[in-house]
């Protein structure tokens, strides 16, 4: 077989391995993502539980990178302490090594069975069964790729070029280390790099010491992608991934000069020689965990000094974690929390406007434009986040919930626009011109403003609880607001007819404020529409049916 064909077969097998890894990660995330995230965030009360949580999460996800990024996101939201996070990643490193050891143990005969069973599960309509099916298919593909790698490297056993290349690397350990690190970095997987080393080592051409050097390089290269992926995250998240990279780097620097002695210890193990790469991978990560664990507190403190806390802009969403997109229920909950925050911003805008109106204080309005900008930004982030979630494939209930969240966010954004472009200029005009409403007109407007703020608070509760009785009450309040607006306008016109000076001066202002408060309440009440519509209590027209 020509060298070109050998390389095509080998790289094709590596590509299949990477595809299998991604299938396992996506499948497990869809099937057990919520449980894994909950277990990882709650199972970190002490060092041992943190280590075990990281180990099992990585075995399930087949990716220490995914575990590292998940852990970093939890640290960013103060769900995991920094010291525990470093221990979680030590467990994740061992989890990757155990996975490589299992893959290399010679269970390739299970591949067809796993793929067959996985396809059966994948045909199910339940999303968790589909996820489990995808994970089983991914594991089967991984085992199949290992078989293909072994077949692809078979012609290399007598290749003089390979022996010459191995000889060069054996005389240049730093180059060999950098080569393995590059492979792990480019594939975003130390597991893929170690499995490739396993296949090449099966030719019998690689000395044991060089195998250890290559495994060290794969370990270091596998720690780079999580750090690169967290560069745009908060400083607390970057500390976790950088700490893991430094720990692996120090471990590799300490072991690399002693690779010859390490090779002699590995050769003393009773396991088959073909398993040396995965044995070395597992031994290194176990030793690294034992040595680094006692220094986890020191490491987290050092990271805090190395990467100081930065001031995060208020515009950034607090709960939209893209790692959660693989778990629709968790992602929808996070989007709900983010939109509730948008509702809180709208409440602040209304209260600032109400206070400025009642106290004739322009300083109350200085923050309104900034708050409205935050509302615009966050609702756009929510829409983008949920549009990404829809590509994952949602159940009918989750799809409907996603639409309700977007609708409510859009209505809140419209309220912000009305406050900034309607209420704000009107209140500024009242204060700057020194206009005074009649006592009756002032009381009517203040009652409607207070009712609007109360309605928003009820709408926030309905948005979360989807309470039918509250939704029905909200629709009745809409009628009350319409009545209040109509009666206030009629009384205002009556005061104009009576020639009252205050009403003459504030006529257009009074009517404009009534109109905008009515519009705001219409957007607030819209949160009740989906709940009542599902119950069949809404009609399409307010026209009285003809006899």
Q: State how far the Cα of 334 lies from the Cα of 72, in Å rounded to an integer.
A: 17
User: Which whole-number Å values give the CA distances from 66 to 21, 150, 164, 213, 239, in the listed order?
Assistant: 11, 28, 37, 25, 16
Backbone angles phi, psi at 416, to 5 degrees: -60, -40
Angle between helices 235-255 and 208-222 (to 10 degrees): 170
Tell me 362's DSSP state: G
Give the whole-angstrom CA distance, residue 43 versus residue 282: 23
Exposed/middle/buried for residue 239 (C-beta within 10 Å: 0-12, 13-18, 19+): buried
pLDDT tens per residue, the chain (547 residues)? 566 776 787 778 778 877 877 777 677 766 666 666 666 656 666 778 888 888 887 777 666 777 777 777 777 666 678 888 888 888 888 888 888 887 777 666 678 888 888 888 888 776 677 878 888 888 888 778 777 776 776 666 566 666 677 778 888 889 999 988 998 888 777 877 887 888 778 777 788 888 899 999 999 998 898 888 788 777 888 888 899 999 999 999 999 998 888 888 877 877 676 678 888 888 899 999 999 999 988 988 898 888 887 655 556 788 887 777 777 888 888 899 999 999 999 999 999 999 898 888 888 888 888 899 999 999 999 998 888 888 777 788 888 889 999 999 999 999 999 999 999 998 898 888 887 877 787 888 888 888 899 889 889 888 888 888 888 888 877 777 777 777 777 776 776 666 665 555 566 787 888 889 889 988 998 888 888 777 666 555 454 544 4
Domains, the chain: 3-306 (no CATH), 322-534 (1.20.58.220)
The residue among 147, 240, 192 whose CA lies nearest residue 22 is 192
User: What is the pTM for the complete model shown?
Assistant: 0.61
């Amino acid at each position: 077989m020509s060298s070109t064909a050998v390389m095509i077969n080998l790289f094709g097998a590596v590509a299949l391995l990477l595809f299998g890894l991604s299938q396992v990660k996506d499948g497990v995330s869809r099937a057990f993502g919520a449980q894994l995230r909950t277990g990882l965030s709650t199972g970190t009360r002490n060092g041992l539980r943190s280590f075990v949580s990281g180990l099992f999460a990585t075995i399930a996800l087949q990716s220490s990178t995914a575990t590292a990024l998940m852990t970093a996101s939890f640290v960013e939201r103060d769900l995991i302490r920094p010291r525990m996070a470093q221990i979680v990643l030590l467990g994740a490193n061992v989890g990757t090594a155990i996975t490589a050891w299992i893959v290399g143990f010679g269970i390739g005969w299970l591949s067809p069975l796993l793929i067959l069973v996985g396809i059966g599960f994948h045909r199910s309509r339940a999303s968790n069964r589909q996820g489990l099916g995808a994970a089983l298919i991914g594991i089967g593909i991984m085992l199949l790729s290992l078989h293909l790698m072994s077949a692809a490297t078979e012609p290399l056993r007598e290749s003089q070029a390979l022996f010459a290349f191995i000889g060069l690397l054996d005389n240049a350990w730093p180059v060999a280390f950098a080569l393995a690190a590059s492979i792990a970095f480019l594939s975003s997987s130390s597991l893929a790099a170690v499995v490739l080393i396993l296949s090449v080592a099966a030719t019998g051409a690689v000395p044991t010491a060089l195998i250890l050097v290559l495994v060290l390089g794969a370990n270091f290269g596998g720690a780079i992608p999580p750090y690169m992926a967290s560069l745009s995250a908060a400083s607390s998240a970057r500390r976790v991934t950088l700490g893991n990279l430094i720990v692996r780097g120090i471990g590799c620097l300490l072991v690399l000069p002693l690779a010859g002695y390490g090779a002699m210890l590995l050769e003393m193990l009773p396991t088959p020689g073909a398993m040396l790469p995965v044995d070395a991978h597992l031994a290194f990560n176990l030793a690294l965990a034992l040595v680094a664990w006692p220094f986890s507190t020191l490491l987290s403190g050092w990271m805090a000094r190395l990467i100081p806390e930065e001031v995060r802009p208020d515009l950034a969403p607090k709960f939209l974690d893209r790692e959660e997109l693989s778990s629709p229920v968790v992602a929808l909950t996070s989007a709900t929390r983010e939109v509730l925050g948008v509702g809180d911003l709208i409440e602040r805008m209304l209260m600032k406007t109400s206070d400025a109106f009642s106290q004739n204080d322009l300083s109350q309005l200085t923050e309104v434009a900034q708050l409205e900008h935050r509302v615009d930004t966050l609702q756009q982030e929510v829409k983008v986040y949920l549009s990404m979630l829809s590509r994952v494939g949602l159940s009918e209930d989750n799809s409907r919930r996603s639409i309700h969240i977007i609708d409510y966010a859009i209505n809140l954004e419209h309220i912000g626009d009305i406050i900034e472009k309607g209420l704000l200029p009107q209140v500024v005009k009242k204060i700057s011109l020194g206009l005074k409403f009649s006592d009756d007109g002032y009381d009517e407007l203040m009652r409607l403003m207070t009712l609007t703020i109360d309605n928003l608070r009820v709408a926030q509760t309905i948005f979360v609880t989807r309470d039918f009785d509250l939704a029905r009450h909200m629709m009745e309040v809409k009628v009350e607001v319409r009545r209040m607006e109509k009666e206030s306008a009629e009384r205002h016109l009556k005061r104009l007819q009576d020639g009252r000076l205050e009403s003459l001066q504030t006529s257009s202002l009074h009517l404009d404020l009534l109109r905008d408060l009515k519009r705001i309440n219409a957007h607030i009440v819209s949160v009740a529409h989906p709940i009542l519509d599902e119950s069949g209590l809404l009609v399409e027209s307010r026209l009285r049916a003809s006899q």
